[in-house]
Amino acid sequence: MKSYILILIFLFQIISEAQTMKTVFINGKIFTCDDKNPLAEAVVIESNKISFVGSTNDALKKISLDEANEVIDLNGKLMLPGFIDNHVHFINGGLYLLGIDLRPANSTSEFKQILKDYAEKNPGKWITGGYWDHEKWEIKDYPTKEMIDEVVPNQPVFVSRLDGHMGVANSLALKLAGITKETQSPDGGLIVKDPKTGEPTGLLKDNAMDFVFNIIPSPSKDEYYQAVLAAFDEAKRLGITSVQDITFADALEAYQKAKDEGKLTCRIYTRWPIADYKSLVEKGIKVGYGDEYIRMGSLKAFADGSLGSSTAWFFEKYNQDTTTYGLPMDIVNDGSLEKWALDADKNGLQLSVHAIGDKANAYMLDLFEKIIKENPKWDRRFRIEHAQHVRFEDIKRFAELGVIPSVQPYHCIDDGVWAEKRIGPERIKYTYPFKSFLESGAKICFGTDWYVAPLNPLLGIYAAVTRRTLDDKNPDGWIPEQKISVEDAIKCYTINSAYASFEENIKGSIEVGKLADLIVLSEDILTIDPVKIKDVEVEMTIFDGKIIYKK
């Protein structure tokens, strides 16, 4: 009887294997990001895994050309692993797609006109989001409440700068939040006030934004879900098959719903707010918890603010504003970050901390070194998010301590337009040191920081390779000695980002046995003039073995 059952099982397996759909890509230029087999012509996918990587002839020998198989001729097009974005605010990005967009405003008049038009179409509701950039305006002063009051006096407005570390409110929003000339700035934040009258200008920086955030109605569950679906559509169009997200409970619920309904088209690696780390510990969640679609076990914290808001934390004062060194976060000042980080690490949770200024980066390196010395050894893979301004003497410490520089290269060509006036010519020399990180042996990875920057990895690759600032004033590159190769930039967006989430064994390169997340580009970015990379498009996105986008 046992023999009979074994024979049936064996026959069932043979039949199942024969019926497995195979998708075969042939005649391509396949850059695998696998150093053992860097280039290939063909890939075979079975179910959601890669089963073959090699020549076109050998691929065709491994399949039968019948109705159960699909053969796609790449006609020499470049295929890459799907992009893995190391740092996104995915829900906010989706809400941004569905809400007001102030990013196109190139002047104060355009800023006001977009607000006016949006308010007329959406009467009575809070106006939030926006992501304006005053550095693009004819007068590069920050906006004020009066600018908004002029066009939207009767609806509460609080619109953020594109970096998310500053926002401007109109008078009604300030009133609803209880902010007056007597209101004191909180730790780690600043209520900007008129130096003559003492009245709030409407600008709120970092933790001061919470005064308004705390009274803005939260999106409904359906709004969160629609935002997730909009974000998925944008990601598939741009070849992103995995994101490493800054995640809150409502977002996680929306991701899970999308997965349950078969609408999840992007793998999610979540980073929970560090203040809530004990909730993960109590549930026994550690790095790697979850499945190949949604994972938990990483934490996000902030050590400082942003350069654009003059809240990034430096050793020396700002050149543009000599009254400040920037703002360390309140959890740095009160010791909470150190306490939480030590305990979270003991419990197998990954630390992923935002640090932009040179002092914030040095502070985090010191803290990570302390954790290594005091806590039991494990494969912890510390991350510093952004790592924008790092003293040269600190660059080598990333590799020595096993700290991953989790950077977003598009910021380089954006900030490069105006950064020097903030911090001067000397500190600029160690800004966005991509090549120095690579040469030090640090495992640098790339992302976009969407919604803060565009959700387009090809723009990030373009930025890392050319360093041509958005104003076209640096045709040979801003700080050109830090330019890197296209090959290295691709790896930073694929296999290195997979390493940063402990997933390099299942994705990030085109290898047999790995998840079939792949993309095909319209041009060969390995051979074209790097200046043209920004115009290249994704022609096809394959996620989990299925073609989910074709141009």
In 10 A of CB 281, how many CB atoms?
A: 15
pLDDT tens string, the chain, 551 residues long: the values are: 444 444 444 444 444 444 567 899 999 999 999 999 999 999 999 999 999 999 999 998 877 655 558 899 999 999 999 999 999 999 989 988 887 889 899 999 999 999 999 999 999 889 988 888 998 898 888 999 999 999 999 999 999 888 778 999 999 999 999 999 999 998 778 999 999 999 999 999 988 998 998 898 888 899 899 999 999 999 999 999 999 999 988 899 999 999 999 999 999 999 999 999 999 999 999 999 999 999 999 999 999 999 988 999 999 999 999 999 999 999 999 999 999 999 999 999 999 999 999 999 999 999 999 999 999 999 999 999 999 999 999 999 999 999 999 999 999 999 999 999 999 999 999 999 999 999 999 999 999 999 888 899 999 999 999 999 988 999 999 999 999 999 999 999 999 999 999 999 999 999 999 999 999 999 999 999 999 999 999 999 999 999 999 99
Same domain, 424 and 477: yes
Beta bridge partners of 205: 166, 190
Same domain for 250 and 204: no
φ and ψ at residue 396, rounded to 5 degrees: -65, -25
Q: List the end-to-end C-alpha distance of the chain, in Å, as a whole number.
A: 55
Domain residues for the domain of 529 are 84-88+220-550
From 143, 178, 213, the end of a domain falls on 213
The verdict on 305 and 369 lying in the same domain is yes
Q: Which tokens go with 83?
A: 């992009």
Dihedrals φ, ψ of 206, to 5°? 45, -120
Structure tokens at 147: 């600018």
Euclidean distance between CA atoms 482 and 286, whole angstroms: 36
Domain boundary among 186, 213, 240: 213
Reference 167, options 125, 124, 210, 199; nearest CA is 210
> Beta partners for 79?
30, 520
DSSP codes of every residue in 442-499:
---EE---TTSS-S-HHHHHHHHHH---TTS--TT-SSGGG---HHHHHHHTTHHHHH
Same domain, 206 and 230: no
Do 288 and 388 fall into the same domain? yes
- Domain holding 45: CATH number? 2.30.40.10
Residues 204 and 225 in one domain: no
Pairing of strands 200-206, 294-302: unpaired
Question: 248 and 181 in one domain?
Answer: no
Q: Return the number of other C-beta atoms located less than 10 Å from residue 131's C-beta.
A: 22
Residues 109 and 165 in one domain: yes
Residues 6 or more apart in contact with residue 275 via CB below 8 angstroms: 331, 336, 340
pTM: 0.84
Are residue 200 and residue 244 in the same domain, yes or no?
Answer: no
Count the domains in the chain.
3
Strand residues in 151-280 grouped as ranges (E): 157-161, 166-169, 189-193, 200-206, 240-246, 267-273
Domain boundary among 46, 76, 106: 76
Instruction: Say if residue 325 is in the same domain as residue 417.
Output: yes
CATH of the domain at 193: 3.10.310.70
- The total of other beta-carbon atoms located within 10 Å of residue 180's CB is 12
- Spatial distance between the Cα atoms of 541 and 549, rounded to a whole number of angstroms: 5
Same domain, 238 and 387: yes
Same domain, yes or no: 229 and 199: no
Residue 217: predicted pLDDT: 87
